[in-house]
Amino acid sequence: MKDPQPNEAVYTVGLDPKRPRHLQVEVLWQVQGTETRFRLPQWRPGRYEQSLFVRNLVALTAQNQDGEPLHLHKTQASEWVVQHPGSTQLRLKYRYFANQPDAGACYADPDWMYVNPVHCLMYREDTMDQPCRLHIQTETLSNSVLPIQVAIALHGNRIDGYTARNYHELVDSPWMASANLQSLDWTSEGVSFVLWMHGVPEPDSAMKEQIIRQWQAMAQTQIQTLGRFPENEFHFLLVGLPYAFYHGVEHRRCTVLALGPSQEIWNDLYRELLGVASHELFHTWNIKSFRPQGMETYRYDGWMYSELGYVYEGFTTYYGDLFLVRSGCLLPDEYLEEVNAYLLRHSENYGRYNHGLLESSIDTWVDGYSQTQSAPHRRVSIYAEGMLQALHLDLVIRLSTMNDAKPSSLDDLVRYLWNRYEHNPSGPGYTQDTLIHWLQEHVEAPPHYKNWEDYFRIHYIQPNSIDELLRNILPKFGCRLVTVSNEDRIKQLFGLQMNWNQAEPKVEHAVPGSPAGLAGLGPGDRWLSWEIQTDPNHQDPLIPNHQDPLIPNPLIDSESLRKNLGTKDILRIHWMTPLGQKRHGILQPHPSHRYYNQHKIELEPQAGTHEVNARNRWLGVG
Ligand SMILES: [Zn+2]
């Protein structure tokens, strides 16, 4: 181990041998004066929500250079002040409960130590720009006959440690250490890539060849589109989990991808893996290299709002899949299946009538990433809705400039953002006006909009349901938007989302103003019994005495109810609220309005040559 350099913060992380799933962390700082204030981050870049990592912190102590204990005083949830008059060194020791095996957190096990350091490494506001050294203690990992390997994007080695220019780079560099890592490597456009794998079956030789060929092509297409790569190497850290799972987190020189069940990674889940890998790689430019105003330099102590999640997540979600078809990893109809998954999320979320993308971007900090904690149908997703808006914007730019000597696309706008704002975090970030000004200069505003400001007001500021706008523009690109009724008649006719996986079907939520909403069915209400009345005007209804408590009709089980309910049928339900009150009501379909319609984009088989050419240019095929 090297002696610390002046002003260098030295971090040492290993497993706690006495406490399963705990890391042992030491931080060494050179100090002056009488006291030092330090903190643990309260969010991690890539997940725009408040996170109290301090919940995992155990037994924090402080010592000076002679090993004498120093007095610690906690001042905020994640902030402490330590008194150290006359000391030159401050050594913190603590344990961190590492029990969250996903793509963004930490997991401590003798087989596999996996650490996203932003969760567990303390920082000082006054020394964040100073160099850091990281020692990873691998002695407590399982003493397998195989050598321990460390997958990390920082430069260095296990003896001297790994170095980072500053705290930002340190905590942007997750790692995993294990005797059971596999790896594949290749170069694309002169950049070295490594795919590290843990917990996944070894791909056979044909699969290895396919992975290298496709990931190489995907990275090459991205680099060629953007012009160059911000780094000279990049690491994919793939974590296989035994259960269904999907998660990816971006970093500047690496990404962590967590997927499961791991047995399916090289077959059923492979397309998902390609998709998340492509998405996270594109973040190397979009958010890790150019950032919106207000996020130029990360602060870790609290909320970092931005209205522009539709650029850093929406554009990225759009390009993640688009690069797969452009690089030949997906066929055009396979690509449209990916787009259609976002259209499904769009039509399932009535929040599109409440808040636009700008407000929804701020509100990731309010709702977090869980749909269950906040009001149902409250806002839209910067990922799904941002992706569909990016698709529309790309097509609009392409259509407006189709006959120009040099047609433009969203690629040109992204390249502009990258070239103009790459010097982040030192310079100011882009704003929505940056996008609007570029478009005003290069692209005529599309018909039906006064100007580009009007376009952004309608598409990004106001609530906006994108499906009809896509339906209008897709035929110009040899595609069509097809809308079909939801097969689940309870959703389609009553606007009601149920959880049927229980003896008593439970309401998840009702679309505001739908027949279910008007009948008073709310989240958590459990259906006790139900009956169908086939015709509201019929003189001899199935249930002659409406006063009688209803008896469940065994012939109308919930599955046939969802499949076979007619558009003129009336459903009578008895239910119990979460507080145990019994209620009853009648659900009657609206004469014409249907809910949860499903949209799909398809290739138009009758498309003309002009439209097919436009589609091929957009998808980079043909
Ligand atoms: Zn993302």
Burial class (CB in 10 A: 0-12, 13-18, 19+), 586: middle
Between vectors from CA 189 to CA 185 and to CA 190, what angle results, nearest 5°?
A: 65
The maximal CA–CA distance of the chain, rounded, in angstroms, is: 95
Q: Which fold has domain 1-180?
A: Immunoglobulin-like (2.60.40)
Range with the lowest mean pLDDT among 34-43, 311-320, 391-400, 500-509?
500-509
Residue 501's pLDDT is: 79
CA–CA gap between residue 426 and residue 614 (Å, rounded)? 39
Distance 250 CA to ligand 1 centre (A): 7
Range with the lowest mean pLDDT among 134-148, 164-178, 310-324?
134-148
CA–CA gap between residue 495 and residue 510 (Å, rounded)? 6
Burial class (CB in 10 A: 0-12, 13-18, 19+), 367: middle
Kindly provide the b/e burial profile for residues 167-199, where b requires at least 16 CB atoms within 10 angstroms of the residue's own CB.
bbbbbbbbbbbbbebbebebebeebebbbbbbb
Distance 290 CA to ligand 1 centre (A): 14
Residue 464's pLDDT is: 85
CA–CA gap between residue 552 and residue 571 (Å, rounded)? 12
CA 243 to chain centre: 19
CA–CA gap between residue 567 and residue 486 (Å, rounded)? 13
CA–CA gap between residue 70 and residue 64 (Å, rounded)? 7
- Which residue has better confidence, 1 or 243? 243
Work out the average pLDDT over 527-542: 66
- Tell me where in the chain the CATH 1.10.390.10 domain(s) lie: 181-284, 309-480+606-619
Work out the average pLDDT over 498-510: 87
CA 610 to chain centre: 36
Work out the average pLDDT over 163-187: 97
Residue 372's pLDDT is: 66
Distance 387 CA to ligand 1 centre (A): 11
- Write down how long the chain is: 622
Query: Residue 537 corresponds to which amino acid?
Result: N
Residue 378's pLDDT is: 85
Residue 371's pLDDT is: 62
Residue 549's pLDDT is: 43
Distance 524 CA to ligand 1 centre (A): 32
Residue 19's pLDDT is: 94
Query: Residue 544 corresponds to which amino acid?
Result: P
Range with the lowest mean pLDDT among 29-38, 63-72, 526-535, 553-562?
553-562
Distance 139 CA to ligand 1 centre (A): 35
Distance 117 CA to ligand 1 centre (A): 19
Distance 254 CA to ligand 1 centre (A): 13
With residue 598 as reference, give the H or E element that holds it: strand 598-603
Work out the average pLDDT over 495-500: 92
Instruction: Evaluate if residue 436 carries a pLDDT over 90.
Output: yes
Distance 53 CA to ligand 1 centre (A): 21
Distance 505 CA to ligand 1 centre (A): 35
Among candidate residues 415, 401, 389, the one with its CA nearest the CA of residue 222: 415
CA–CA gap between residue 348 and residue 342 (Å, rounded)? 10
Distance 44 CA to ligand 1 centre (A): 13
For domain 181-284, the CATH superfamily is: Neutral Protease Domain 2 (1.10.390.10)
Distance 45 CA to ligand 1 centre (A): 10
Work out the average pLDDT over 418-430: 81
Give the number of other CB atoms < 10 A from CB of residue 219: 25
Give the model's confidence band at 599: pLDDT under 50 very low, under 70 low, under 90 confident, else very high: very high
Q: Helices in 20-143 by DSSP H: which ranges?
A: none
In this structure, are residues 587 and 495 in contact, taking their beta carbons and an 8 Å threshold?
Answer: no
Give the number of other CB atoms < 10 A from CB of residue 53: 22
CA–CA gap between residue 390 and residue 274 (Å, rounded)? 20
Question: For residue range 63-97, what is the model confidence (pLDDT) as tens digits?
Answer: 999 999 999 999 999 999 999 999 999 999 999 99
Instruction: Evaluate if residue 544 carries a pLDDT over 70.
Output: no
pTM: 0.93
Distance 278 CA to ligand 1 centre (A): 10
Instruction: Evaluate if residue 1 carries a pLDDT over 80.
Output: no
Residue 142's pLDDT is: 79
Could you tell me the two tokens for 383?
A: 């990922």
* Residue that has been written with the tokens 């269904």 in this structure: 244
Work out the average pLDDT over 141-160: 90
Measure Cα distances from 432 to 269, 275, 303, 465, 488 in Å.
36, 27, 20, 20, 40
- The angle that helices 384-400 and 316-326 make with each other, rounded to 10 degrees, is 60
Work out the average pLDDT over 512-540: 82
Instruction: Evaluate if residue 546 carries a pLDDT over 80.
Output: no
Distance 129 CA to ligand 1 centre (A): 26
Distance 148 CA to ligand 1 centre (A): 31
Domain at 489-587, CATH class = mainly beta
Distance 153 CA to ligand 1 centre (A): 19
Q: What mean pLDDT is reported for the chain?
A: 92
Question: For residue range 333-378, what is the model confidence (pLDDT) as tens digits?
Answer: 999 999 999 999 999 988 888 889 999 999 888 887 776 678 888 8
In this structure, are residues 598 and 587 in contact, taking their beta carbons and an 8 Å threshold?
Answer: no
Strands 233-240 and 254-260: parallel
CA–CA gap between residue 170 and residue 12 (Å, rounded)? 12
Q: What percent of the chain has pLDDT over 90?
A: 80
Question: For residue range 240-291, what is the model confidence (pLDDT) as tens digits?
Answer: 999 999 999 999 999 999 999 999 999 999 999 999 999 999 999 999 999 9
Distance 521 CA to ligand 1 centre (A): 35
Distance 247 CA to ligand 1 centre (A): 10
Distance 383 CA to ligand 1 centre (A): 8
Query: Residue 47 corresponds to which amino acid?
Result: R
In this structure, are residues 467 and 600 in contact, taking their beta carbons and an 8 Å threshold?
Answer: no
With residue 212 as reference, give the H or E element that holds it: helix 205-226
For domain 309-480+606-619, the CATH superfamily is: Neutral Protease Domain 2 (1.10.390.10)
The 8 Å CB, 24+ separation contacts for 319-322 are 319/222, 319/278, 319/279, 319/282, 319/286, 319/390, 319/414, 320/275, 320/276, 320/278, 320/279, 320/280, 320/282, 321/275, 321/278, 321/279, 322/619
List of residues 6+ apart from 516 with CB closer than 8 A: 494, 495, 496, 507, 510, 587
Query: Residue 259 corresponds to which amino acid?
Result: L
Distance 257 CA to ligand 1 centre (A): 11
- Tell me where in the chain the CATH 2.60.40.3650 domain(s) lie: 1-180
CA–CA gap between residue 321 and residue 339 (Å, rounded)? 8
DSSP-derived letter for residue 134 is E
Distance 284 CA to ligand 1 centre (A): 10
List of residues 6+ apart from 381 with CB closer than 8 A: 345, 349, 360
Question: For residue range 192-240, what is the model confidence (pLDDT) as tens digits?
Answer: 999 999 999 999 999 999 999 999 999 999 999 999 999 999 999 999 9
Distance 340 CA to ligand 1 centre (A): 18
Residue 550's pLDDT is: 44
Distance 611 CA to ligand 1 centre (A): 31
Distance 276 CA to ligand 1 centre (A): 8
